[in-house]
Homo-oligomer: A and B are copies of this chain.
Amino acid sequence: MSYQAPLNDIRFLLNDVLGVNQLHELPNYSEATPDLIDAILEEAGRVAAEVIQPTNRPGDTEGCQFHPETASVTTPTGFKEAYRQFVEGGWTALDAPVAYGGQGLPHTLKFVVDEMMCSSNLSLGMYPGLTHGAISALHEHGSDALKDTYLEKLISGEWTGTMCLTEPQCGTDLGLIRTKATPADDGSYRIEGTKIWITGGEHDLTDNIVHLVLAKLPDAPKGTKGISLFVVPKVLPETGERNPAWCGGLEHKMGIKGSATCVMNFEGAKGWLVGQPHDGMRQMFTMMNEARLMVGMQGLGLAETAFQESLGFARERLQSRSLSGPKNPDGPADPVLVHPDVRRMLMRQKVLNEGMRALALFAGQQLDLSIAHPDESVRESADDLVQILTPVVKAFLTDEGFNNANTGLQVLGGAGFTTDWPIEQLVRDGRIARIYEGTNGIQAMDLAGRKLALKNGRLIRNLFKTMTGFLSDHEDAAHREGLKHAIRTLEKATTWIGENGPSDPEQVGAAATPYLRLTALTVIAYLWSRQATTAQRLLDAGAGQTDLLKAKQTSAQYYFDKLLPEIDWLLADIRDGKASLMALEDDQWAV
């Protein structure tokens, strides 16, 4: 594996298309100068390629090991040292609050770094990844005492954090949680219960692990309104005592074998309430929304590595002659890159990957604006976009990240199916991203069933305004008609849901998955139009980088020609409604 961070594409998006390099004009981000951003990109690319990447294969072959006698977990060879270097480089602190030792840089940069780390070793990236969510939840909802105790060490990477939500009887439906929290005399709580699929629940990278645990107080109302959030450290910071929060074993999984997926038994472990009682779902969503964006970057990161591998293979592998005459007449055959059907696979990877990166970084930029812009109305509309794009980034980037990794495998043919090449691992690793932090079906319901209705539909209206605003501001917008058609198609679908959903919520459920996909394809069309428009402007200005800019134009053309037309099918599916989907009676499924 010889991953190289796609720095030129990232720079083009950040600097030329989105203008993320202007964020330093906001008071909060005054340190994020273009020079600093560029230095961070370079160094992150180096760390990903040189420090993280070499641990990826051992992580898969060895996996994590559970030692029942001590309830401990060892990570694969190299993880500890790579994590140490990652921490020492300050990468866990990048966008964390300055008051607790963070660097306070824009979140968009964190997105970029996440992509690179997931390209290099998804399993290893999970440990700091989940920690980041714990930091945010504590920072946003915790008392000063909790923040003072935990934040600095989580931000520095000295400790890691977890999200303990799932139990055997409940994943999606957290209202069914059984873990109990009983108040103790000293203001703390005793946590009792079993959590499953806890990423980084136990490991040997750090001395302490800070669990954020959903549990029910004795007087809790039924369902999700009765869930509270607790901090439960593995080792009590005050005394150094071991808290009875034990790993009961590891899951055996299709992929991400270097990520310790733990059963966690809380056996009267000491915990502290975060924020108010029964407010756990809201607090959990602070972690979850952030995790969803990060998981989207996982899908993209794996797809980028797969693309690089398959492109390299297609340039090297000589097989058959080009249909338009030999391209490598002195060799025994032409590189398979010349064959239209191989190019179809590579173009799909390239164009969708770059489109997904644009979508993610656009969402990241909106996140930064929603936090740091001095104008409240800008903050609010940016937040609208973040809210509506979060499920889209999570679901579309993991679905298509997986599909693109899988397409990369196909380019390699039989070689891709062997463990001699890294792609089959990328496919296996990426499969989970469509499931965890809310399955992609749940993302679709979040979008179509919840986000569309928020604030009387303002979120999606703001999205439309952003896209049509671009068209009004740019008479020379590339692929103008294609983008207008996409916007109209998404409007029709939105109208259909608005008309049919209120009287029959199952219609929303039936429409949700194609609607999310339609939204993603439309926003990516908007971002391809922006990229192609920018490329033309820079070409006209003779700005150099001609190959990149021309490739952007071709890629945009490919997107509008070959990929975007799926939206008509999606609209037809949505408008067809739920009838045939819901018609089978119970006895008619298997007959």
Contact = CB atoms under 8 A, between A and B. Distances in A.
A573 B581 contact: no
A439 B417 contact: no
A581 B173 CA distance: 45
B573 A554 contact: no
A474 interface: no
A590 interface: yes
Interface stretch (A17-25, A83-91, A451-459, A556-564): A556-564
Contacts of A364: none
Contacts of A323: 505-506, 508-509
A418 B344 contact: no
A539 interface: no
Interface in A408-463: 409-410, 413-414, 416-420, 424, 427-428, 431-432, 434-436, 439-441, 444-445
A561 B588 contact: no
A332 interface: yes
Contact of A410 (B420, B439, B550, B578): B439
A340 B414 contact: no
Interface stretch (A30-38, A137-145, A235-243, A248-256): A248-256
B252 A418 contact: yes
Interface stretch (A163-171, A380-388, A482-490): A163-171
Contacts of A587: 547
B324 A176 contact: no
Contacts of A333: 173, 176
A340 B588 contact: no
Interface string A323-367: 110000000110001011111111100100000000000000000
Contact of A547 (B311, B344, B561, B588): B588
Contact of A311 (B350, B512, B557, B589): B589
Query: Which of A346, A582, A589 has the most chain B CB atoms inside 10 A of its CB?
Result: A589
A40 to B, nearest CB: 21
B340 A172 contact: no
Stoichiometry, as copies per complex, reads 2
A346 B197 CA distance: 25
Nearest to A510: B340
B569 A566 contact: yes
B580 A561 contact: yes
A589 B350 contact: yes
Nearest to A549: B591
B413 A340 contact: no
A494 to B, nearest CB: 18
Given A554-B583, A589-B311, A176 B344 contact: no
A343 B581 contact: yes
A411 B171 CA distance: 13
A120 interface: no
A308 interface: yes
Contacts of A508: 323
A543 interface: no
Given A347-B584, A569-B569, A591-B551, A332 B176 contact: yes
A545 interface: yes
Q: Which of A9, A554, A578, A579 is the most central at the interface, judged by chain B CB atoms within 10 Å of its CB?
A: A554
A340 B506 CA distance: 6
A260 to B, nearest CB: 14
Contact of A320 (B173, B319, B550, B588): B173
A565 interface: yes
A298 interface: no
A568 interface: yes
A493 B222 CA distance: 58
A8 interface: yes
A572 interface: yes
A428 B441 CA distance: 22
A579 B347 CA distance: 12
A534 interface: no
A11 to B, nearest CB: 11
A390 interface: no
A513 interface: yes
A176 B581 CA distance: 51
Contacts of A418: 251-254
Given A410-B441, A414-B435, A551-B589, 12 more contacts: A171-B413, A172-B319, A252-B419, A254-B417, A324-B504, A324-B505, A340-B509, A340-B582, A341-B510, A341-B512, A410-B439, A569-B569
18 contacts: A172-B319, A253-B419, A253-B424, A324-B506, A337-B586, A340-B509, A340-B512, A340-B578, A341-B444, A341-B513, A350-B589, A410-B439, A414-B436, A424-B431, A547-B588, A558-B580, A566-B569, A568-B568
Interface of A: 8-9, 166, 169-173, 176, 197, 251-255, 308, 311, 318-320, 322-324, 332-333, 337, 339-347, 350, 406, 409-410, 413-414, 416-420, 424, 427-428, 431-432, 434-436, 439-441, 444-445, 504-506, 508-510, 512-513, 545, 547-548, 550-551, 554, 557-558, 561-562, 565-566, 568-569, 572-573, 576, 578-591
